[in-house]
A and B are shown apart, each in its own frame.
Chain A
Amino acid sequence: AAGVIQSPRHLIKEKRETATLKCYPIPRHDTVYWYQQGPGQDPQFLISFYEKMQSDKGSIPDRFSAQQFSDYHSELNMSSLELGDSALYFCASSEQGSLIANYGYTFGSGTRLTVV
């Protein structure tokens, strides 16, 4: 079965550079969530989109922005990168109609961003 695809798997950037992470949800999933997990930390919710509209916002810095496209894939854009942005970035997807029965979001394998 198709899973949530994230690209790239690994990314190394210098301070003050920009980075774009991509997430391709499971087919028919209309909701995408972004999480950030720092070293030794729990995943922190950043932002979510439902039907291409931002639906919820968590602890996403102003330097970051995200959007969901017509094919439901999502991109997380990160500018003016800082050393503290080094983390594992997870994307998860779900289908709104399934949430009532099962809140089990499906996560991708993550993108490991290293800022040097």
Chain B
Amino acid sequence: DQQVKQNSPSLSVQEGRISILNCDYTNSMFDYFLWYKKYPAEGPTFLISISSIKDKNEDGRFTVFLNKSAKHLSLHIVPSQPGDSAVYFCAARAMYSGGGADGLTFGKGTHLIIQP
């Protein structure tokens, strides 16, 4: 059962336009969400995160929006640049009582292609 879903395997966006990557989740215990960017043959690179107590977090060209009632989050990249072409993973973490080093649950990723 996929708890974190990225329903678009790929997305093509023209350079300079806005890229919107979507992610849905089912586990109500998730309280922290992250976006990772991954190039081939490299490990995922942390991009941006958001706590469940917020609905928006912005860092430069990257903004993540969280809609808790819909269990949906999205990553906006504006303006999109050729170097943004990569696979983007949405990930979530559940903070169990007492905290602890819990692993992340990843979505299957969306391959973003920025066209010149």
Contact = CB atoms under 8 A, between A and B. Distances in A.
Q: Do A and B come from one complex?
A: yes
Give the interface centre of B36, B43, B106, B107 by most chain A CB atoms within 10 Å: B43
B19 to A, nearest CB: 20
A104 B32 CA distance: 10
Classify chain A: how many residues form its interface, as a range: 20 to 34
A43 interface: yes
Give the interface centre of B45, B49, B100 by most chain A CB atoms within 10 Å: B100
B42 A109 contact: yes
B100 A107 contact: no
B69 to A, nearest CB: 22
Contacts of B41: 109-110
A31 interface: yes
Contacts of A41: 108
B76 interface: no
Interface string B95-116: 0000011111111110000000
Contact of A103 (B34, B44, B45, B109): B34
Interface of B: 4, 32, 34, 36, 41-46, 49, 89, 93, 100-109
B108 A33 contact: no
A64 interface: no
A58 B103 contact: yes
A24 interface: no
21 contacts: A4-B43, A33-B103, A33-B104, A43-B89, A43-B104, A45-B104, A46-B103, A48-B102, A50-B100, A50-B101, A55-B102, A56-B102, A92-B43, A94-B101, A103-B49, A104-B34, A105-B104, A107-B46, A109-B43, A110-B41, A110-B43
A104 B49 contact: yes
Given A42-B107, A43-B106, A107 B44 contact: yes
